[in-house]
């Protein structure tokens, strides 16, 4: 027989905020452990810096994915359909290419304005560090932010409220960022707070936002040599000089924080939501579902 104490404990453990904290804590702890192993083991080997970076990135991406799957399949007693292999190739390819194409559009707008100049083309091997950076950032960030925080919030509040909360949250988080402007804050809010969660809502697969983030973070410094605020990498395949109006170039915060980025991410996120609505993928708030279920409950005999 279940006691009142056990019921309260069960509710506390399965409260969505508790699950958020547990999921984030497990994945962050594992990533920190991998970084410690690098300094303890890999840095003592004769492997090249690029090789060590790739090994760490692949390990972090793999361990974050496995930890999420194992933790929430046990915690929520369900199949982790959002990481299903069924549509992996389609979502991964679409996401990765979309991330690269978005960055290409930002650079195209800057080039048309006459302020993008390639000063040097580097060896293909220079792509390794940006590739590792994009891989690790895409997997770890999106599994935590979209897979854990957004997914659990959306289940409680519904899609629309969760997206509004995310947009506001990311705007607040980046108001005091170095060299932040109104446009850069808005661009970040549209990218991380709207477009990426909307990609998940549309596909109901984490592979799409994970690989979109991967392609985005890889292409900006890795292909075009643009500034990415999350990394010290400033060149990859191309060493470039970007100058001109900060509205168009993103200034000290890079092309991803330009006006074109804000508008394109808003546009793409809206497209994802429209398509998600057509697929009936938008969730209602949990309290609204409860009211609806009570209203339509059949009468007794």
C-beta atoms surrounding 234 within 10 Å? 13
Structure tokens at 134: 């994009």
First to last CA, the chain: 30
Nearest of 192, 177, 189 to residue 251 by alpha carbon: 177
Q: Classify strands 238-242 and 116-121 as parallel, antiparallel or unpaired.
A: antiparallel
Burial class of 254 by CB neighbour count within 10 A (0 to 12, 13 to 18, 19+): buried
DSSP string, 106-122: HHHHHHHTT-EEEEEE-
This prediction's pTM: 0.90
SS3 282: coil
Phi/psi for 226 (5° steps) reads -85, 165
Tally of CB atoms within 10 A around 17: 11
pLDDT at residue 299, rounded to an integer: 47
- SS3 call for 241: strand
The alpha carbon of residue 93 and the mean position of all alpha carbons in its chain are separated, in whole angstroms, by 16
pLDDT tens per residue across all 301 residues of the chain: 556 565 877 788 888 899 999 999 999 999 999 999 988 888 888 888 888 999 999 999 999 999 999 999 999 999 999 999 989 999 999 999 999 999 999 999 988 887 888 889 999 988 999 999 999 999 999 999 999 999 999 999 999 999 999 999 999 998 988 888 899 999 999 999 999 999 999 999 999 999 999 999 999 989 998 887 777 676 688 888 888 888 888 888 888 999 999 999 999 999 999 999 999 999 999 877 655 555 444 444 3
């Amino acid at each position: 027989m279940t006691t009142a104490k056990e019921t309260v404990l069960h509710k506390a453990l399965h409260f969505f905020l508790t699950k958020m904290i547990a999921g984030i804590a497990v994945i962050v702890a594992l990533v920190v452990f991998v970084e410690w192993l690098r300094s303890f083991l890999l840095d003592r080997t004769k492997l090249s810096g690029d090789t060590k970076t790739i090994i760490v990135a692949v390990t972090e991406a793999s361990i974050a994915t496995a930890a999420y799957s194992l933790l929430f399949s046990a915690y929520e007693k369900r199949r982790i359909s959002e990481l299903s292999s069924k549509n992996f190739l389609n979502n991964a390819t679409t996401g990765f290419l979309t991330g690269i194409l978005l960055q290409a559009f930002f650079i195209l707008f800057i080039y048309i304005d006459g302020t993008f100049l390639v000063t040097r083309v580097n060896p293909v091997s220079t792509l390794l560090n940006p590739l590792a950076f994009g891989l690790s950032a895409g997997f770890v960030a999106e599994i935590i932010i979209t897979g854990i925080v957004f997914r659990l919030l959306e289940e409680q509040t519904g899609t629309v409220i969760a997206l509004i909360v995310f947009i506001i949250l990311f705007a607040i988080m980046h108001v005091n960022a170095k060299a932040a402007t109104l446009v850069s804050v808005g661009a970040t809010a549209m990218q991380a707070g709207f477009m990426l969660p909307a990609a998940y809502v549309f596909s109901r697969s984490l592979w799409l936002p994970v690989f979109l983030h991967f392609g985005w973070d890889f292409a900006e410094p890795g292909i075009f040599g643009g500034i990415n605020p999350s990394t010290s990498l400033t060149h990859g395949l191309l060493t470039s000089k970007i100058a001109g109006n900060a509205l168009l170039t993103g200034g000290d915060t890079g092309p991803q924080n330009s006006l074109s980025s804000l508008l394109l991410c808003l546009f793409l996120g809206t497209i994802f939501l429209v398509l998600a609505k057509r697929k009936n993928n938008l969730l209602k708030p949990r309290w609204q579902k409860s009211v609806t279920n009570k209203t339509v409950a059949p009468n007794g005999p």
